[in-house]
């Protein structure tokens, strides 16, 4: 039997987000693996997934996929069909791309079944227009008290081009540590204090999204100085820093959908 490795996207929130095509691949596979360290799916319960799929699932860690190169998965995929379940949409995380390339180099056929992505979800939830987004960036936790300057530089570059910035917030699943919007904004304000280029100030508009894909999703836009104190509830959280100028439909959408203050309309003039 020829081996195959299928990457199946789980979507955003719970076991019901997987596509019918993805579920079919799971039911046809000999082995099912899943990772949950690249993103948080707060409503996902393994026992519920086992009930709808009829399959057992082996959860793998960052160490299994990155340090060990997915060895256990590839060994089984050489002569059997294997599915790797991935939060969101597969291959967004570089660790999954590396595993796919490794499989192909070893002669293992690979396939991708896409799932809902946080990238498209937060864009749609905010009401901002997809074509106006520039480079996205991850805001990492500090390392030894040092903050990465990369988020600041990316936001500065996008603002210079009048583009929005989507910020992914750091995830350390092994430590059960998920960055909040408040923490992300405080890091950005600290970076502004350190660099003093006027890129990110308390008066700037920001949009926070919590638990995209769930029944209790929260989308809120406001000045950073006010948004930093807004209670978004439990993670996962995402953050958007809009461009200095908005299309009038974007401004209206933020007011209607994200309860933005009325002064946002001035950004469209």
Q: Are 130 and 25 in contact (CB under 8 A)?
A: no
CATH topology assigned to domain 118-268: 3.30.950
The pLDDT of residue 129 is 96
CATH topology assigned to domain 4-113: Cobalt-precorrin-4 Transmethylase; domain 1 (3.40.1010)
The pLDDT of residue 23 is 98
Residue ranges covered by each domain of the chain? 4-113, 118-268
pLDDT per residue over 169-187, tens digit each?
999 988 999 999 999 999 9
Burial of 241 (0-12, 13-18, 19+ CB in 10 A): buried
CA–CA separation, 37 and 39 (whole Å): 6
The pLDDT of residue 227 is 98
Tokens linked to 265? 């309309």
Which residue numbers in the chain have pLDDT < 50?
none
Q: Are 1 and 28 in contact (CB under 8 A)?
A: no
* Fold match between domain 4-113 and domain 118-268: no
CA–CA separation, 79 and 67 (whole Å): 23
The pLDDT of residue 93 is 85
Q: Are 137 and 167 in contact (CB under 8 A)?
A: yes
Q: Record the pTM.
A: 0.93
The pLDDT of residue 182 is 98
Cβ count near 203 (within 10 Å): 9
């Amino acid at each position: 039997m020829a081996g195959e490795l299928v990457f199946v996207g789980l979507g955003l929130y719970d076991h019901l987000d997987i596509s019918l095509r993805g579920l079919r691949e799971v039911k046809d596979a000999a082995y099912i693996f899943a990772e949950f360290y690249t993103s948080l799916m707060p409503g996902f319960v393994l026992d519920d997934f086992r009930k709808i799929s009829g399959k057992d699932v082996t959860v793998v860690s960052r160490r299994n996929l990155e340090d060990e190169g997915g060895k256990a998965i590839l060994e089984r995929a050489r002569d059997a069909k294997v599915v790797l379940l991935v939060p969101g949409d597969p291959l967004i995380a570089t660790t999954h791309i590396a595993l796919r390339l490794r499989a192909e180099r070893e002669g293992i056929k690979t396939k991708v079944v896409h799932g809902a992505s946080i990238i498209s979800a937060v864009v749609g939830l905010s009401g901002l227009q997809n074509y106006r987004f520039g480079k996205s960036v991850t805001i990492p936790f500090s390392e030894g008290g040092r903050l990465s300057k990369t988020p600041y530089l990316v936001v500065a570059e996008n603002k210079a081009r009048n583009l929005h910035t989507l910020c992914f917030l750091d995830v350390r699943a092994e430590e059960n540590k998920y960055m909040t919007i408040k923490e992300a904004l405080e890091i950005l304000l600290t970076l502004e204090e350190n660099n003093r280029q006027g890129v990110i100030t308390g008066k700037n508009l920001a949009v926070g999204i919590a638990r995209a894909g769930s029944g209790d999703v929260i989308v809120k836009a406001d000045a950073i100085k006010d948004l930093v104190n807004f209670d978004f509830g439990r993670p996962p959280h995402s953050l958007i820093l809009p461009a200095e100028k908005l299309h009038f439909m974007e401004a209206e959408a933020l007011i209607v959908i994200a309860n933005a203050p009325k002064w946002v309309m001035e950004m469209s003039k």
